[in-house]
Amino acid sequence: MDNNIVSDEKLLELFDAAQKAALHSYSPYSKFPVGAAVLFSDGKVFTGCNVENRSFGLTNCAERSAVFAAVSAGSSRICAVAIATPKSEYPVGPCGACRQVLTEFGSGEVPVLFGPDKLKLKRSSLGELYPFDSLHELAD
């Protein structure tokens, strides 16, 4: 699967999956549930939710939860990302740590859809969210 051919319909399906994942959020401290759905090149979709901890540094974001589950299962090339933040007033993009992890496994062209609901969706790309990605040569 190529991220350049991910249809709008597929992106909306991913957003639906992200909304469902947000229902499983463990966010008793922030009261800010987040769900993510990530499509990989093998056609598999992995979802994740934010999992908070009273020691905030140990909290894991929805996006990273999804990516880590995917890599653990053998998937590694991201083709599309959807993030749902159902309690936000406006579209909230991924944090810096998640942008770093997402670009580890996806190119700048990977589409990213995010928002609180389908009426307030924002479409971007990994390259737009993290424009000066670097150091990929370290993996060679």
pLDDT of residue 110: 98
Q: With b meaning 16 or more CB within 10 Å and e meaning fewer, what string describes 71-97?
A: eeeebebbbbbbbbbbebeebbbbeee
* Residues involved in catalysis: 63
Per-residue pLDDT of the chain (140 residues; tens, 9 = 90+): 655 589 999 999 999 999 999 999 999 999 999 999 999 999 999 999 999 999 989 999 999 999 999 999 999 999 999 999 999 999 999 999 999 999 999 999 999 999 999 999 999 999 999 998 888 778 76
pTM of structure: 0.94
How would you list the strands of the sheet with 122-125, edge to edge?
A: 45-49, 35-40, 78-84, 111-115, 122-125
